[in-house]
Amino acid sequence: MSEAQSIAEVWGTPLSAFYCPHCRTAHLASVETTLDACPACLQAEVSPEPEQVRREPPELVIPFAITSEQANNALAGWAKRMWFRPDDLRADVLLSRVRPYYFSLWLVDSDLEASWQAEMGYDYQAASYREHYDGGRWVSQEVTETRVRWEPRVGRLKRHYDNVAVPAMSTHDEWMTRLGGYDYRSRKKYSANAIARSVVRIPDHDTEAAWPDAERMLNRTASIECKSASEADHVRNWKMHARYHNLNWTQMLAPAYVTYYLESEGVHPVWINGQSGRVYGVKYMSQRKATVTSLVLGALAALLFLFGAVLALIGSVLVLPLVIGALLVVLAILLGLAAPVPAIWVWLKNRRIKTRQQ
């Protein structure tokens, strides 16, 4: 049995595998889907790379909750209210290029046995007095402030934790920052229909590589539970010695939409959270529009200067044209000085954005 047949069999639908050499990501897409550029970074062509692909299908999928109309409204709200907006940065253009996209994460279940120690903090109200000078004399004013009483605590913990979310991608935190997170409770059992006409990003973190993150998340979950059990308001200096048993890993897909716009000979991706509708993208301004604006302002300044100079010459005979001509010349000089500002400002803004993205 071939690699492609193996993938199709375990995922329940015919799929092709692709690999991007730029961002080093692997994807699966239906055999009818043509992928010229990487759907994750849009910066390089993809090539068939079935050996880069994990064959295991996901067990769970968070379904799309955003309709095409809602996606269009979200894109329209995101794209408006900006100076020198590129012609390509319009909701209808972005929506015409939208592609459904899934990325992976892990859910881990574990039995935990641990001993722990920490300092638990308890808020309390304390009265104090502040002196201030008022009406020629010092006045004492009573104020109430919140303070924290720290107490050492030790204990043992034996718990089972279900569905602790763990990154399955090296760029997981970046994606969550962009898209704003997901409500995992809406997850459903995986089916081939769920990924129809979608591109699926394959995990680049296997369970072994993801375990350090899982351990940190389990540790954090345990600290929160112990703080709650201690009826404390804060916790610090948390230490736990734990043993983990009966680990169970579940792969889950989270939905997004990806689209893009063109500006300054570059392709710029725009992402939409497929559950909440949150939009993320970098908004470059149109250098062409800013340059045209500067040229128009410069031409207008030149015309005003010429007209003002003519009036000034006429003013050698009449006083009123001389005054008007002088004012037009001054206005032309000021406008001429301001003319390069749009082009320079947009260039600096776009360069600053590009520098941050590198």
Q: Per mean pLDDT, which of 322-331, 339-348, 349-358 is the most reliable?
A: 339-348
Per-residue pLDDT, averaged over 279-283, amounts to 91
% pLDDT > 90, the chain: 41
Residue 96 has pLDDT above 80, yes or no: yes
Tell me which DSSP letter residue 42 carries.
S
Smallest CA-to-CA distance from 307 within 324, 286, 320, 293 is with: 324
pLDDT tens figures, 113-161: 999 999 999 999 988 777 776 777 777 777 888 899 999 999 999 999 9
Residue bearing the bigger pLDDT, 144 or 274: 274
Residue 22 has pLDDT above 90, yes or no: no
Residue 47 has pLDDT above 90, yes or no: no
Residue 3: predicted pLDDT: 47
Q: Average per-residue pLDDT in the chain?
A: 86
Query: Cβ neighbours of residue 225 under 8 Å, at least 6 residues apart?
Result: 157, 159
Residue 318: predicted pLDDT: 65
Give the predicted TM-score (pTM) of the model: 0.78
Distance CA 201, CA 268 (A): 19
Distance CA 74, CA 69 (A): 9
Smallest CA-to-CA distance from 244 within 155, 154, 153, 157 is with: 157
Contact 167, 201 (CB under 8 A): no
pLDDT tens figures, 230-259: 999 999 999 999 999 999 999 999 999 999
Residue 4: predicted pLDDT: 45
Distance CA 203, CA 310 (A): 72
Q: Which long-range contacts (CB under 8 A, 24 or more apart) does 349-357 make?
A: 349/285, 350/264, 350/284, 350/285, 350/287, 353/282, 353/284, 357/282
Distance CA 240, CA 265 (A): 53
What does DSSP say about strands 25-30 and 60-61: parallel, antiparallel, or unpaired? unpaired
Token representation of residue 74: 């979200």
Cα 278 to its chain centre, rounded Å, is: 9
Residue 50 has pLDDT above 60, yes or no: no
Contact 80, 68 (CB under 8 A): no
Smallest CA-to-CA distance from 118 within 214, 213, 212, 225 is with: 225
CA distances from 191 to 12, 60, 134, 196, 201 (A): 8, 8, 74, 9, 16
What does DSSP say about strands 234-263 and 60-61: parallel, antiparallel, or unpaired? parallel
Residue 2 has pLDDT above 60, yes or no: no
317 pLDDT band, cuts 50/70/90, is: low
Q: Which long-range contacts (CB under 8 A, 24 or more apart) does 220-225 make?
A: 221/161, 221/164, 222/112, 222/114, 222/116, 222/157, 222/159, 223/116, 223/118, 225/157, 225/159
Say which range, 8-12, 79-83, 176-180, has the weakest mean pLDDT: 8-12
pLDDT tens figures, 182-235: 998 899 999 888 888 889 988 888 888 899 999 999 999 999 999 999 999 999
Neighbours of 140 (CB within 10 A): 8
Residue 222: predicted pLDDT: 93
Distance CA 223, CA 95 (A): 44
